[in-house]
Amino acid sequence: MTLIETRNVTKKFGSFLALDDISLSIGDGELVSIVGPNGAGKTTLVNLLTGQLAPTFGEVYFKGRNIAGVGPVGLAERGMARTFQLVQIFPELTVAETIAIAVATQQTKQWRMFASLTRDAAICERVETVADIFGLRARLPTPSRFLSQGEKKLLDVASAFALRPEVILLDEPTSGVSTAQKHDVMKTLIAAAKTAGVKSIIIVEHDMDLVAAYSHRIIALTEGRVLADLPPAAFFADPHIIATVVGKRRAH
């Protein structure tokens, strides 16, 4: 089943053509990586896919509904969540409080104080469930500033998972994480998605080793157009694609 689809999407900023006639679809059960050199149009495409921008021409659909410009809150209500390259957490809040805010948002509960969130039985139960999925149960009382960078990444994504999304878009999910931790973070994210019932994952990623290891499909952009939409084996077998995306042949 197709979950996300763009039809002949073009995006201009004044006279600048950021995206040119992009048509793609992402289905149930897929992990799709979006790659490309700087300036290729990745951020603009992601902002269109997540309803933060409306296309100049063309349509963007999520579960068959046009989502152009609906914004992150409206999109979360429809079942899509997004994380950002820069971790979006508050350093003084505990892990429990950070996840609780997302849970309260998903449950459309009103709250005035962080303390009231952690006394709500239904919210506490959901917070503990999400923390367990991401291996953060022992860190629930810990202020976020004391987490490792890998743990901060997991907390950021855990907050998005608390919204119960069907599709999640991860923007550079391992940026700032040590090389030794990157695969652990990715494995945790994928296992968590499966446990939480997420149907599709979209990743914007520069690390080609991670892209090769975890993607079902790779969509490469260059100069605002789709250069390739291929499974990893075919993608990495094409020297022209690799030269365009990363500037050199990927080492094996």
Each residue's pLDDT tens digit, 157-208 = 888 888 888 999 988 888 878 888 889 889 988 988 888 889 999 999 889 9
Judge whether residue 117 has pLDDT over 80: no
Instruction: Parse the chain into domains and list their residue ranges.
Output: 2-246
| Encoded tokens for 203 | 């990743």
pLDDT level of residue 86 (50, 70, 90 thresholds): very low
**Beta strands, E only, the chain:** 2-13, 16-27, 31-35, 57-62, 65-66, 80-83, 167-171, 200-204, 217-222, 225-230
Average pLDDT over residues 21-36: 95
The CATH classification number of 2-246 equals 3.40.50.300
